[in-house]
Amino acid sequence: MSITVVGSIAYDTVKTPFGERERMLGGAAVHFALAASFFEPVRVVGPVGDDFAEADLQMLRDRGIDTSDIERLAGKTFFWRGEYGWDLNSRETLDTQLGVFEGFQPKLSVQSRASDVLFLANIQPELQLGVREQLPGARFVALDSMNLWIDIARDALVQAIELCDCVILNDAELRQLTARPSLVSAAREVLSWKPAGEERPGPSVIVAKQGEYGATLITRKSFFSLPAFPLETVIDPTGAGDTFAGGLIGYVAAHPHHELSDELLRRAMAHATALASFNVEEFGTERVARLTAAEIATRVQELREMTHFSDAPMPTRK
């Protein structure tokens, strides 16, 4: 099995109450790939500028990530500067320089088009549609997006969602997308969508990211929720959502399609939650880049223990 991710590769400058980093490696495709690479081979599709360090490409390769479809172009790599206050759920964007990402037209090699799992990271919905059409045989396709595209390109985003199996958004974005008042009703709405005139079933898995409160999984038959892993110190949440997606999709990709069940998806949620918790412990990719599979397994076990309770009859008043 293999995974192709299409999305941004960036340099981020981030300030939080706990410190600051200048031009650290980031971008949705990078955070996703680092997490997913624990489970399956990953191919990254995206552009970088002539200022992109070879050492950063080598770090990805050292993790077994295929960088063949990372296109180096004349110009600057996508750059983002942001600052977090004590409420790490919100941030202020101070500067965004699209650089070579502004004219991004995904170019997928034969190998990337042959992947059976595809993750469409947060890019323009029209580009997501174009990439999806290049992988008609993918057995599992997931998509992320944001409020900007819901505002200015909702029709194209809905079309892209209808061609996916899994939609990963935060809870506010799901409500905005559907104009539904609650998370559950919004998810049920998206699960009812399917492409017009086609036999494809449309999305069957909705994952709502809820920041420090965890994440929720909703399918046509079940509902499952996990809290975020409790941490004493959170340094930098940048990339946590993409790391979560990488853990989720990577775990799914590591299993045959016929095994895709609610139980497997719940285990995928646990691994995604564990990986995201490591991401926020340090700046950018610093923690996940040196993470081990044993550390992930230990944290998943801790998460299982803290969310487990035994069945017992309800005491009744006498």
- Whether pLDDT at 89 is above 90: no
Cβ contact 220:270 at 8 Å:
no
The pLDDT tens digits for 7-58 are 999 999 999 999 999 999 999 999 999 999 999 999 999 999 999 999 999 9
What is the signed CA dihedral for 126, 265, 239, 273, rounded to 10 degrees? 160
- Whether pLDDT at 181 is above 80: yes
- Whether pLDDT at 100 is above 80: yes
Mean pLDDT of 160-185: 96
**Per-residue DSSP letter, 316:** -
Cβ contact 241:214 at 8 Å:
no
**Residue 305 and residue 287: Cα distance in Å, rounded?**
24
The pLDDT of residue 197: 76
Q: Indicate the pTM of the whole model.
A: 0.96
The pLDDT of residue 317: 85
The pLDDT of residue 198: 77
- Whether pLDDT at 257 is above 90: no
Q: What percent of the chain has pLDDT over 90?
A: 90
The pLDDT tens digits for 284-315 are 999 999 999 999 999 999 999 999 989 888 88
> Quick count: other Cβ atoms within 10 Å of Cβ 34?
29
The pLDDT of residue 90: 85
- Whether pLDDT at 258 is above 80: no
